[in-house]
Structure 1
Amino acid sequence: MNRQKLSGVKESFLQRRYGVSLGRRYVMAAASVVLLGVLSCSQVNNSSSSALAQSDIPQSESPLPKKTVSNDTRLVNGNNKFGFKLFSEILKNNSSENNIFISPSSVAIALAMTYNGASGSTQQAMAKTLELQGMSLPEINSAYASLKELLENPGEKVQLTIANSLWVNKGVSLQPDFLQKTQDFYKAKVTNLDFQDATAPDTINNWVKDNTSGKINKIIETIKPDEVLFLINAIYFKGKWSNEFDKSQTAEHPFFLISGKQKQHTMMSQTGDYRYYENEQFQAVSLPYGTDGKISFYVFLPRQNSNLNVLYQNLSLDNWEKWMTQFHKREGFIRLPRFKTDYDVTLNDALKALGMEEAFSDKANFSGIGKNLTISQVKHKTFVEVNEEGTEAAAATSVGIETTSLRQKPEPFRMIVDRPFFCAIRDNQTGSVLFMGSIVEPQ
């Protein structure tokens, strides 16, 4: 082999071996923030802020070879089950006439990072609440790392980013192993910040704002004296419909409220082939995003002789998985309200009701993070906008640690979403439910 060919072979080998880069993509909008605080700041070990610095391991300068990423269905099923339970608890404490919209994936990721520092009965309680029983901590972390990579590659015309960060009060020492895991598996950015500085909340809020494309502007109002750590997850999603709605078909139509009253509202209309399912209780349709439909917007409309309460009584992981297998391509007409809404909720009571009460008490054991830590508040904020072009959504969570078969073609369906409905945004590749909501009065 002559020298020129040999050089070419070497160059080709080196390019294949070291030149593979993993491209990033982005999808819709959601953000999640976890705030961690301490009941007694004086009991936190302030002697070695070096633990934080030691955990700042530099990333490899050479791109890693591409590898096949697998999806752990145990984690996805656990997250979805937790999401439906959380949604049910939130419903109990909200007026039936109010819109609700949450990102269970965002809350789950934020609490999963926190879970890495839990021990003893606190860890067991969190595992039960988060539906992580039967999975070891290494399995959970590895599964989240893989899931993040899968979710962030949704296809064309769809953007999805998942970002994590830890904000540590200046001078506070945290367990190096905890910090390492959040960086290695959750790609969390770790920052020392003087919580006494009046600009500290703005610094954290600006990170959330940047990572939710400005849809969540503020998750932290003030930093309490006993708070020493904030764990933050931010998810941003923006997707264009595979088939956009024609704006010339958008018009004012009546929308019937739970009270029986009706209001004129802007409604989008479209005819086409959709994945569709119906039974005695509801009609449901899947509206895909992008060129390959990896992510879809699901609308569940109760029948005229039924209502949302009946639907929610049957909204469980088992039923959800069963319903997902029943969707088939069918021609039909869909009229859907154009809407935009934001939502704000404190999740303390809901999480306590689901079994995490100890994590909010002085019996909490977060020794894997530091000494004498407890969760003081879990807040969640979301935003969603649905229009003719597609959907944009955002969410923020703060934890203060203080198919087509051959058969006779059915008649085209007609689905007029002119009354309260349930909706969800689902990653069809992994099965992850990214968002879910109850829209009783579109704004």
Structure 2
Amino acid sequence: MKSRWLCSILATVIGCCFAGARKPPAESVKPAIGMTSKPIGKEIVQADNAFGFKLFSELFGQEPEENIFMSPTSIAMALSMAYNGAAGKTKAAMAKVLGIEGIKLSDVGMANAALLAALRTADPKVQLEIANSLWVRKGLGLSPKFVETNTEYYEAKVTELDFADPEAPDIINGWVKEKTRDKIDRIAGTINPDDVLFLINAVYFKGSWAEEFDTALTQKRDFHLSGGSTIKHPMMSQSGDYKYYSAEGFQVVNLPYGEERISMMVFLPAEESNLAAFVGKLNSENWNRWLDSMKVIKGDIVIPKFKLEYEKTLNDVLSELDMKIAFDPAQADFSKMVLNPEKNPLFISQVKHKSFVEVNEEGTEAAAVTSVVMTLSAAPQPEERFSMIVDRPFFFAIQDNETRAVLFTGAVSNPE
């Protein structure tokens, strides 16, 4: 039985492997780290969130009856690494889609470096690892500036491979498997003769609830599907003090992990509403307003256990968001990516995203990988006890509460 779950991560793990790749000196990173509290840092987080919500809405519209889980962070970081090699109209289109128009390339890099540093040290009781990597066909000359930008700001390691070797995909996939703790074991398939570069971001998250759910209270209860039918599914229960908000046709509760720096935000549409109506309101402006409206009150929460895997090629949806030129062999301009761009004109042939999430009484484990393949062309409620029984399609997100970077977003129509 199909279930719909859309989860978007600002948890993209970009892993970069390069034998002998230069690790940025501490002094080159420190200025960026300080930017988390400066406007440019906040601007990048807002841009990533806005991009993630738009992407989520597009995917939701295309597959309204399917579960979807994604990491906006992973996708944005992978595309940002490719953006470092874009020029002309291609660069302008990507900047518009990513929401970074008017921001200097170096400022984008410093802000992303600061975000990486902030997320990796967010909570000592939570595992949050983000890695970036570039896998380049042996013999292709990458622009030194392009390599320097991605290694310095994104800590991407670069590995040169013989793409004609049948084991090349296994080497790339081995890195993905390692960085996602075996949750995602494959992102690269057959490497085509004209494929010359893989830019990969990988994210891994594992967090225990600040207050774990009691397994003795978990029992099968009704979960109402959007089509009108009902299934029996294991539901976890808990009572306590939670950040909570109810208005505008939905309820939202904050379920923190570890030391409460990172949380899962669960949005439940009202019975007279539905998930599509909520997604129609989902944007960064409303997101911040909703978070600012939350207050700590006592309440009861019932939420399903679930485990999901998702895989999607994002070429079409990114084209719909006005990035079509980057996928056009005749028009794409990535001349800042390689030496001799006249002889090596590149375009993005594929943006692929894979993700995994499992939610149970102990906490949450999630992972996401994004691969960009470059190819040669020829109002608050009163403070009273609430009751939130998540027994129908709902939206959820995992965010870093300090920077408000949205790591994952999801919509669950059927938890089976």
State whether residues 274 and 329 of structure 1, in contact with CA within 8 Å, keep that contact through their aligned partners in structure 2: yes
What's the CA shift string for 1:145-166, capped at 9, x where partnerless?
A: 1110000012232011111111
1:377 aligns with: 350
Task: Tell me how far apart the structure 1 counterparts of residues 318 and 45 of structure 2 sit (CA, whole Å).
Answer: 19
Q: Report what 1:416 is aligned to.
A: 389
Fraction of identical pairs, as percent: 49
Partner of residue 178 from structure 2, selected from 193, 204, 210: 210
| Amino acid across the alignment from 2:35 | S
Q: Partners in 2 of 1:152 and 1:264 — Cα distance?
A: 38
- 1:67 deviates by 9.5
Q: Is the 8 A contact 1:109 1:233 kept in 2?
A: yes
Quickly say closer, same or farther: Cα 1:229–1:67, change in 2 above 3 A: closer
- Is 1:346 the equivalent of 2:319? no
Letter in 1 for 2:274: N
Q: Is this contact kept in 2: 1:31–1:233, CA < 8 A?
A: yes
Tell me, in whole angstroms, the C-alpha distance in 2 between the residues paired with 1:108 and 1:59.
21
In structure 1, the partner of 2:415 is 442
Report the AA paired with residue 367 of structure 1: S
Flag the 1:354–1:387 CA change in 2: closer, same or farther, 3 A.
same
Gaps of 5+ in 1: 1-27, 36-51
Per-residue deviation, residues 19-69 of structure 1 (Å, max 9, x unmatched): xxxxxxxxx99555799xxxxxxxxxxxxxxxx99x944665999989963
The alignment partner of 2:293 has SS state of coil
Letter in 2 for 1:159: Q
Could you tell me whether the CA contact under 8 Å between 2:308 and 2:358 is conserved in 1? yes
How many residues get paired?
393
Structure 1 match to 2:51? 82
- Deviation, 1:172, is 1.2
Distance 1:373 1:118 in 2: 10
Q: Give the Cα separation in 2 of the matches to 1:351 and 1:203.
A: 28
Say if 2:108 is the partner of 1:135: no
Do the aligned partners of residues 124 and 281 (structure 1) sit closer, same or farther apart at CA in structure 2, a change above 3 Å counting? same
Question: Cα deviations across residues 289-323 of structure 1 (Å, max 9, x unaligned)?
Answer: 112x1110000000010001110111111111111
State how far apart, in whole Å, the 2-side matches of 1:121 and 1:410 are: 52
Separation in 1 of the partners of 2:233 and 2:59?
27
Aligned to 1:428: 401
- Partner in structure 2 of residue 42 of structure 1: none
User: Quick one: distance in 2 between partners of 1:99 and 1:392?
Assistant: 17
Partner of 2:6: none
Task: Tell me the amino acid that sits aligned with residue 281 of structure 2.
Answer: N
- Contact (CA 8 Å) 1:256, 1:419: kept in 2 or not? yes
User: Is the Cα contact below 8 Å between 1:330 and 1:412 reproduced in 2?
Assistant: yes
The normalised TM-score by structure 1 is 0.85
TM-score of the superposition, structure 2-length normalised?
Answer: 0.90
Task: Indicate how the Cα distance of structure 1 residues 68 and 381 shifts in structure 2: closer, same or farther if over 3 A, else same.
Answer: closer
Q: How does 1:175-186 map to 2 (within 5 A)?
A: 175-186=143-154
- Opposite residue 247 of structure 1, the aligned amino acid is T
CA deviation vs aligned residue, 1:199-223 (integer Å, no higher than 9, x gap) = 1000000101100111111001111
Matched, 1:363 2:331: yes
Partner of 2:92: helix, strand, or coil? helix
8 Å Cα contact 2:351/2:371 also seen in 1: yes
- 2:166 pairs, out of 198, 205, 211, with 198
Aligned mate of 1:275, from 243, 249, 254? 243
Larger Rg: 1
CA distance in 2: counterparts of 1:285 and 1:355, whole angstroms: 34
Pair 1:301-2:268 in alignment: yes
2:298 partner SS: strand
Q: In the alignment, is the contact (CA less than 8 A) between 1:75 and 1:140 conserved in 2?
A: yes
* Structure 2, unpaired ranges of 5+: 1-8
Residues 408 and 87 of structure 1, relative CA distance in 2, 3 Å threshold: closer
CA RMSD in angstroms comes to: 2.4
Partner AA of 2:139 in structure 1: G
Question: Residue by residue, what CA displacement relative to the aligned partner does 1:85-127 show, whole Å, maximum 9, x if unpaired?
Answer: 1111111221x22111110000000000000000001000000
Query: 366, 369, 373: which one pairs with 1:396?
Result: 369
